Chain A
Amino acid sequence: MCEAAEGSTTGNRGSSEVSLRTMGSGFRSREASSAPTSGGPGGGVVAPEAPALSRWGSGSPLTRLVRQREFGIIAVGVVLFAVFSLASSGTFDSFQTWGGIGSSAAELGIVSVGVGFLMISGEFDLSVGANFAFAALVMATMVHDGYPPIEGLLVDLGIGIGIGLLNGIVTVFLNIPSFIATLGTYFLWSAVVLIVTGGTTITILPPTPTLLNVLGGFIGDQMRSEILWWLGIALVVGVVLHRTVTGNWIYAIGGKRMAAREAGVAVARTRVLAFVLCGMLAAFAGAVQLAHLGSMSAGYGSAYQLEAIAASVVGGCALTGGRGSMVGIVVGTVILQMLASGLILSGVSPYWYQAVVGIIIIVAVAMHTRIGAVVHGAES
């Protein structure tokens, strides 16, 4: 800790000169004391018991908390919650309301997990809304025609994976920016949905098959099982993102793709994987909405591509990739849904929703940039 403090007071330029001055001699002493190393990559790292330097340098737990990238947006969420609780004279902070908010947010939340994950890798998927409707409509048609819902679900997931794979291949191997590639597939699949269904709504009620209950049935007063699917998926994908090599590579690719490649990261494979995950989750969200509503139509989910990007950005994902977190993505989604429900419960016209979302996006990004400047240095 003392050394760390000394380094930071010396200033950037000074400390680098100090370090380089000792570099050569340090290397020689190492040579004298240890034989040339062998083993797998990294086999050469000798690790005497040296305590790891603290994660954020210094500061009390409170300072460190405040410096977390997600802190700002969680604070915004808390403020919004307080405002709506007061404005709705007590109905907003009830368990029922929150069950409802969570359930309504679940489909967008599941889509956002994929979109945010992909955004951290530096890519967009504008086709998630079309994917959502297309995959779920095929599932709805199958269930309507008497196929077992589980088969419908598998086909739904297969379609999502296929669409994601196509997006990934077009982006990665044809080297087309994903914004353009998925704008293209968005139009493509939107048209296919209309061609196939002729724009009709497919209803599969009654009776409600078991699988559909598992996906989107009630588990409480206002709460539906989809909230558990959302949080479960966020947890699993969050662990992958933050605690596995794949997640580490997603950050590296989004941060600086060439550096990742130079370090031996399997860049192409990992990028395609992110598209596939995003496509699969969009289709799964479609299945969940089908289970919830008992019907599906071409127009459902059509706003999700932009709302999912909004949720991710509000939650702290950098549009340019490399930064973001699963907590942020989930909180971003909750904030959007809180706005939608909170405005209604506070008696404000729902027409204001988009205006407020717009303002929140700008405020949130401004905040992330400022906090980023403190946490990560001036460049972010």
Chain B
Amino acid sequence: MSAPTTNDEQEHAARGPLWLEARSITKQFGAVIALSDVDVSFSLGEVVGLIGDNGSGKSTFVKILSGVYQASSGSLLVEGKPVRFHSAADARAMGVETVHQDLGLVDSMSIARNFFLGAERRKGPFLDLKRMERETSAMLREIGLGNLRAIGQDVSRLSGGERQAISIGRAVAFQRKMLILDEPTSALSIQETEKVFEFMRAARDRGLAVLAVMHNLTQVRDVADRFVVFYHGRKIADIVNTGQSEQDLAHYIIEGKLAEMGIEREQVDMGVIRAITTE
């Protein structure tokens, strides 16, 4: 279980150097402890799949890595040097691009304005709307979305798949070092999901660190090089993908729950565990 095995599907450029390290991250919202003492490291050229139950702190962790929230304690290091992300703009400037669970799109704004939100193109003190529209259509064309009806129309008119594509497109267009996707496939069909995975693998092969929060254990096995498992705000596993079965992964999630309830794994019928942990 310790050494990574390379099979045909998993073949990719060797994992690159360590890039981002999260050390003893704790996050409290009032009385709620969303994360406690979490350590995770991310290397260039690697896809990390983050799994865990609803409410286990995955999105909170993503928001800390992308500067949306600030940790209550703990630190972030980029290439070994401590950094502080006071806002999403800081994280972006360091090279972290994120597709959040809610896709981070403003429905009442146009595709182009959404694309450049927070990184607006300017001409002197004014918005350069023409340029933003031109660059947005060029970018969408490049990622195969050129047939999208009109750049000036509101995002609220798009389907779920189109929104997802715009959101990922935005992250890729501005990509630097790390791409984070929070539940990118939860609203997508199987084919659409596979395309998003291709996107993630392509980003990895270009040497980006990729973090994907996933709910579906079957899917995460297909795309992740390493699994990180959260349970109730703690990291309970951090393992290389060696082709573990879905049940193996489910065990990591369920073990936290069982330990808390004082139950040994063997006592529990596997069928029950499967029923609880997979949708």
Contact = CB atoms under 8 A, between A and B. Distances in A.
A112 B118 CA distance: 28
A27 B202 contact: yes
B249 interface: no
Contact of A27 (B66, B89, B199): B199
Interface in A7-26: 7-8, 12-13, 15-26
B108 A380 contact: yes
Interface string B149-169: 111111011111110110010
B163 to A, nearest CB: 8
A66 B103 CA distance: 31
B191 A245 contact: no
A126 to B, nearest CB: 24
Contacts of B151: 52-53, 55
A246 to B, nearest CB: 10
Contacts of A31: 202, 205-206
B146 A3 contact: yes
Interface string B128-156: 00110111011101111111111111101
A104 to B, nearest CB: 33
B251 to A, nearest CB: 32
B64 interface: no
B37 interface: no
Contact of A258 (B102, B109, B147, B188): B102
A146 interface: no
Interface stretch (B74-82, B119-127, B270-278): B119-127
Contacts of A258: 102, 104
B202 A322 contact: no
A261 B107 contact: no
A54 B157 contact: no
A369 interface: no
B108 A45 contact: no
B142 A322 contact: no
Interface string B81-112: 00000011111110000101011111111000
Nearest to B182: A262
B173 A42 contact: yes
Contacts of B143: 22-23, 26-27, 30
B133 A53 contact: yes
Interface centre among A4, A30, A262 (most CB of B within 10 A): A262
Contacts of B160: 16
A277 to B, nearest CB: 16
B17 to A, nearest CB: 15
B105 to A, nearest CB: 6
B198 interface: yes
Given A4-B150, A42-B173, A323 B142 contact: no
Contact of B154 (A45, A243, A377): A377
B249 to A, nearest CB: 25
Contacts of A375: 154
B127 A248 contact: yes
Interface residues of B, number: 81
B172 interface: yes
B147 A19 contact: yes
Interface stretch (A249-257, A344-352, A357-365): A249-257
Interface string A26-50: 1110110000111011101111101
Contacts of A208: none
A19 B144 contact: yes
Contact of A376 (B105, B156, B168, B196): B156
A45 B173 contact: yes
In the complex, which range does the number of interface residues on chain A fall in? 35 or more
Contacts of A40: 93
Contacts of A207: none
Interface stretch (A90-98, A215-223, A263-271): A263-271
Contacts of B156: 376-380
Contacts of B105: 256, 259
Nearest to B151: A53
A80 interface: no
Given A3-B147, A15-B147, A45-B138, A21 B92 contact: no
B147 A7 contact: yes
A37 B175 contact: yes
Contacts of A198: none
Contacts of B104: 258-259, 262-263
A260 B104 CA distance: 7
B68 A7 contact: no
Interface in B216-246: none
A252 B147 contact: no
B113 interface: yes
A260 B150 contact: no
Interface of A: 3-4, 6-8, 12-13, 15-28, 30-31, 36-38, 40-42, 44-48, 50-57, 239, 243-245, 247-248, 251-252, 254-256, 258-266, 318, 322-323, 375-380
10 contacts: A7-B149, A13-B161, A16-B160, A25-B144, A46-B142, A57-B152, A243-B126, A244-B126, A265-B117, A323-B108
Interface of B: 63, 66-68, 87-93, 98, 100, 102-109, 113, 116-122, 125-127, 130-131, 133-135, 137-139, 141-154, 156-162, 164-165, 168, 172-176, 188-189, 191-192, 195-196, 198-199, 202, 205-207
Given A4-B150, A322-B109, 18 more contacts: A7-B149, A15-B147, A16-B158, A17-B161, A19-B161, A23-B165, A24-B199, A30-B142, A31-B202, A37-B175, A53-B150, A55-B150, A57-B150, A244-B126, A259-B103, A260-B118, A264-B92, A266-B89
Closest 6 CB pairs of A and B: A22-B144, A16-B161, A24-B198, A264-B89, A264-B118, A377-B157
